[in-house]
Structure formats: structure tokens, C-alpha cells
Structure 1
Amino acid sequence: MVEQVEVEQVVAPEDGKKIDTGKLIDPEVVLHPEIFKWRDALTVDLGLLNSLKDGQIQPIVFRLKDGKHELLVGSRRYFHQKLLGTPWDDILKDVREKVSERDALWMAASENIFRKDFSPWEEARTIE
């Protein structure tokens, strides 16, 4: 079960604490159903939070789908930006209009597989 992050905890979250992403998502954003089943839960990473406080370097990749922004790459960056209270308009985004389903899955898988904190089980689940 995912532990919820209350508003008071957003100011100084505990490293490794589970994040209830449903409370943080912008109304403009939808999650890709396949990509988001690859992970069990998102946890707070104080190193990432501190890094993002200094400015976001790498954009979060979305594709336009049914009038919404579907999150494809950078979910950890996105949800940590939301923990920091960053407004939607201030998040560095790479919004793509034409991304096939195959390319969307490949983009997400390739970023996650090469990141060091993706467990072998999560890698296998990604490739399924």
C-alpha cells in the first residue's frame, strides 16, 4: 500500500517516503497506463529535490493526447517538482505532438533501464 504524503510533509519530506502521486498531478496531465504499471511506487529522493531547487536541467517529456499532456519520460522529476510546489507553467517540458505508442514505450523504457535505481524486477516488468 502506498503511504500518503500530507501537505505538511511536502515542505520537508522524508527521504524514501512513498508519494501519493494522485494528490500531486496537474489537471492537464494524464499518466500512460502501461508506463506507470512498471513501478511499484514513487518514493521521495531528497537528492533530487535539492537538485531541482537549484533548477531543472532536463525536460520532462509529454505527448499531446486527447487534449491532455500524457507523461512519458521524467515522472520522478515531475512528481518531485510538484512536491516542491512548482506550478505547471514553470516546469521544463518537452511536449511532442506525434509520438507513436511504440515510440512512447521505448522512450520511457530506455530512460528507466539505464538509470541505476531501476531494480532487475522493474527492468523485467518494463520489457514484458
Structure 2
Amino acid sequence: ILAIVGGFGTPFFVSTGEGNYIVLFTYITILNVGMLVLSYFKNWYWLNVICFAFTTIIYGSWLGYQVSEKPYPPYLGALIFASIFYGIFFLMNIVNNIKEKRKFNWSEITILLTNTFMFFVAGMVILNNV
């Protein structure tokens, strides 16, 4: 848990203030893909939740600032990364259950529904400002 928290904090500790969202979200995507691979082998529910929470907070904060404050917001990049994050977290929460052939519990269903809702909200924010 400490390693993943440090992994999500690293971009902010070493940031030069340049604000390159492509580098930031590519790094976060790499972290999340690593967790996706781990979730295939282990059912570490809380690590999935931590990754989802940090990614949602970072992306949501960036989206709220970029779309509302900038004269030429990066709509395409925002939509691409929202789609990537949605796909990763969808797979992350179902891959172990499918492999082990077990039913979803209420907390896993909650994460799946929250992921879908957050993707919908991000899409509406982006498309509302186009």
C-alpha cells in the first residue's frame, strides 16, 4: 500500500511545474496497468480501491481546472485518458473474479458502478464545454 501511495505521489514531488498532462497521465496509466496485471494473480481489493481513488482525484482535479479555466482546453486528451482509465479499472475489478469463477460481492459492484458513473461525469463535463 505504501509503494502505490508513493507511486502516485512521485509526480508531484518531482514536478517542475510545467503542467504536462500527457506525461502525468501516461505515468499513472503505467502504474494502473501494473496493478491490472497484479489483480489478475491476486485479489487485492484495497489496492484496486486506492488506485481508483488516487486516479479519480488526480484526473478529476485536472479536468475541473483545465476545462473551466483554460481558453483552449485539451478535450481530445481528456476524453482519451478518461476512456483509458475507465477500461483499466473495469478490467481491474472483473479480471480476478472471471479467472477464479466467483461471484461479485457488493463492494466490487459498487466500484464498477462508481467507475461507470465517473466516466459518464467526465464525458459530460468534456462534451458540455465543447
Which TM bucket (shorter chain)?
Answer: 0.3 to 0.5
Please say which structure displays the higher CA radius of gyration.
2
Task: Specify which structure has the higher proportion of helix.
Answer: 2
Relative CO higher for 1 or 2, CA cutoff 8 Å, sep ≥ 6? 2
Task: Specify which structure has the higher proportion of strand.
Answer: 1
TM-score by length of 1: 0.33
